[in-house]
Each structure stands twice: as C-alpha cells, then as structure tokens.
Amino acid sequence: MPGTEPQPSFLGRISIRRNQVSAMDVNHDPELEELELFQKHVADRFTDLLSPQEEVASTETLLSISWLRKLVDVFLCCEAEFKAVLIMGRDPSQICKPPLDRLIPELLDRAVKALDICNAVSSGIDSVRQYQKFAEIAVSALEQKPMDDGQVKRARKALNSLLTAMKVDDKEKDFKGAERTWSFGRRGNTNPFHKERAARYFRSLSMIIAKNWSASKQIQAMSSNLVPPRGGEPTGLALPVYVMSSVMVFVMWALVAALPCQERSGLATHFPIPRQLTWAHSMIGLQERIGEEWKKKEKKGSVGLLEEMQRMEKLALNLIEFADGFQFPGETEKMEEVAAQVAELAEIFRKMGEGLVPLQAQIREVFHRIVRSRTEVLEVLDHAAKISQPTT
C-alpha cells in the first residue's frame, strides 16, 4: 500500500491543544463534555446505520456495498474523534496511568489484528470483482437478440463458473474447484500448465494471508479481552477506549461477514456489549440482524452476506434452470421473465462496478489510518516515558 504524506508534529499539535484547553474557563469541564459528545456521536452514527433516513433506505440495504461504504465512513469518523478525545489537550502521562497502562496496549494489539482483517477483506473484494466479470459474460450472452442455443450455453457456462467461484474459500484444499472455475473458455483443456496458472491466480488473491489464518479466530482474539470499565472508570478515559474498541471489533466483524474471507466458521457468535450503554443499542441491533442472517447462510456454505452477492447467486440459479430447459426459439412469456432477470443481474454488476473500487479504497484508508494512529499513540507513550524519568 502506498505511503501517506508526512504529517506535522503530532506532539506539537497536542501541545497547542493543551494550551487552548488551559486557557478556557476553569469552571467548565471540557473533558467530561468531550466524552459525552463522543458517545452521542457514536450512538447517532450507528442509529443511522440501523435505521437510515427514508430517502436513502432503499439504496442502503443492510450489508449492501453502499451500506458497507457508510459503515467504513462511520469507523473513520469515530476513530478521528476518539484520537482527539484520548490525546489532544491532554497530559501524555495520563494515558500511562492505570487502567490505561493496560487498556491502551490492548487497543494497540487489537489494531494490529484489524490490519490483518483489512488485508483479508481487500482480497475478498478482489474475489467479488471476479464474480462480477462472470455475471457480465452471462448478461452479454443473454441480451443477444434473437437468443439461440449457443448464447444460452455460453451464459450457462459463465453462471456455473460464477457459482463455483463463490464457493471457493481461498484455501489450498479448494484450488481444485478454483481451477475448474478459471478454465472458463477452455473446454476439455487438461494441460497441467493451465491448471497451475489458474491455481496460482486464485492463490494470488490471498497471498498476503497465511494458510492457517482464520478470520473468525482473529475476531475472537480482538474481542476476548473486550470488557466494559468498572468502578469509577466509566466517567474517565477507560470508557472511550472501550467504546472505540467495540466500534473497531464490530466494523471488522461486519466486513468479514459480508465479504469473502478465509475461514469464518462460528462467525455468528456475538461479542457482548452491555445494553445499558446508550450508544450500544443500535450496535446490538445490527449485531442481532447480521448474526441471524449469517446463521442462515452459514448452513449453505455461503461465501458472504454482501447483499449484491446474495441477489446475484439467486438470479444465477434461476437463469441456469432456464438454460437447462431452453429450446429455441423459447416461449414468449418465459423469455420476458428471463429478460427481467437479466436486466436485474446487469443492474447488480453495474452497482458492483461503481461501488467495489471505492470500497476497496476506503479499506486501504482504514489500514493507513490505523497504522498512523497507532504510531502517534506509541509516540505519546514514548514521550510520556521520557518525561517521567528522573533527571540526573
């Protein structure tokens, strides 16, 4: 991934902000206000994800490409505001005191795991873009007028390749299926060179992911030590750390559920979020809806819950059934029904063409943002450690 542009001194910005806060009215508690405002903004953003405004609800179906793009935007907004709450205008030594001396390292470790998920999700988007190409071949064949046996056979082959590709989970044991998928257009080709090339192509989609890596285990590791603050901590910095950790885990969990990722068994298991926290209501609602959908699809070996993929799979099955029984010139009523399904499939891959590349760019931005923020927090910790050392 390309490097980001150099930023002004982060510690310098902290110093400026600290001076600004110090100059404020001493009777005003900006820290408490910032904490409350941060939680309110998180609540508002997730409420909008759960129940979008009426005018956009139809285009932002849960787990559609447009909804995922909005989800990633929510993460980026929450992350930026959290960093301001945690660091800006604050004595660096504060984040080295208990319980932050434990919570901050846990958050940074969680961030490293999130980077792995970003890579896996980006690879999954590459896979979806390949599904899109198969759908485009089928649409091109079925839009031909008049539709003859040759065009129907061509469409059927592309649709079969599409369904086969959607069942490949990027594991070495599944490369046999991948070879069949990517041999489209080479009927009866048994050349070992072509088979190896097809296997290498699929392997390249997940080259950055270790063979034994598991998306579900990564999510479980991120949430294993995710517990709400106790005692008097809910009014301190421990609470925003918990809020941001919950946001991070939820967003990564939703992305893994939606897009093809390696080894996702048991993903429907929820990580617990206390219902009494006002910002958590919508997040819990989304958890429950996505979890129920995952339980249904996991039984069928679904490649993911992306709304466009689900519709594409259903249409592909219907069109294959049509192709199996097609006899030229075809019944007028049936041909009209097929034309409507082909038009819907064309609309789906058009939306994919418009949305997948920007979504992948947003995932890259999340990757770079996490790297940059983690570096900045480590810089503050290092600075705090230096100023706490006794002078000789």
Please tell me the total count of domains within the chain: 1
Residue-wise pLDDT for 342-364, tens only, equals 999 999 999 999 999 999 999 99
The answer to whether residue 176 is domain-embedded is: no
The answer to whether residue 20 is domain-embedded is: yes
The answer to whether residue 337 is domain-embedded is: no
Residues 88 and 92: their CA atoms lie apart, in Å, by 9
| More confident site: 197 or 49 | 49
Residue-wise pLDDT for 361-375, tens only, equals 999 999 999 999 999
| Alpha-carbon separation of residue 208 from 115, 166, 167, 345 (angstroms) | 11, 20, 20, 31
Residue-wise pLDDT for 308-350, tens only, equals 999 999 999 999 999 998 877 767 778 889 999 999 999 999 9
Residue-wise pLDDT for 254-281, tens only, equals 999 999 998 888 887 767 888 888 899 9
What's the rounded mean pLDDT across residues 26-34?
A: 67
The answer to whether residue 181 is domain-embedded is: no
The answer to whether residue 152 is domain-embedded is: no
Residue-wise pLDDT for 232-245, tens only, equals 555 588 999 999 99
**What is the sign, positive or negative, of the torsion defined by CA atoms of 86, 367, 73, 259?**
negative
Alpha helices in the chain (DSSP H): 10-22, 30-50, 54-57, 65-86, 100-142, 149-166, 175-181, 192-205, 215-223, 238-258, 280-298, 307-324, 332-388
pLDDT bucket at 58, cuts 50 / 70 / 90 = low
pLDDT bucket at 18, cuts 50 / 70 / 90 = very low
pLDDT at 53: 66
Residue-wise pLDDT for 77-125, tens only, equals 999 999 999 988 788 888 888 899 999 999 999 999 999 999 999 999 9
Residues 311 and 248: their CA atoms lie apart, in Å, by 28
pLDDT at 316: 96
pLDDT bucket at 198, cuts 50 / 70 / 90 = very low
Cβ neighbors of 344 (< 8 A, separation 6 or more) are: 311, 315
* Domain around 257: 10-144+210-304+348-388
The answer to whether residue 199 is domain-embedded is: no
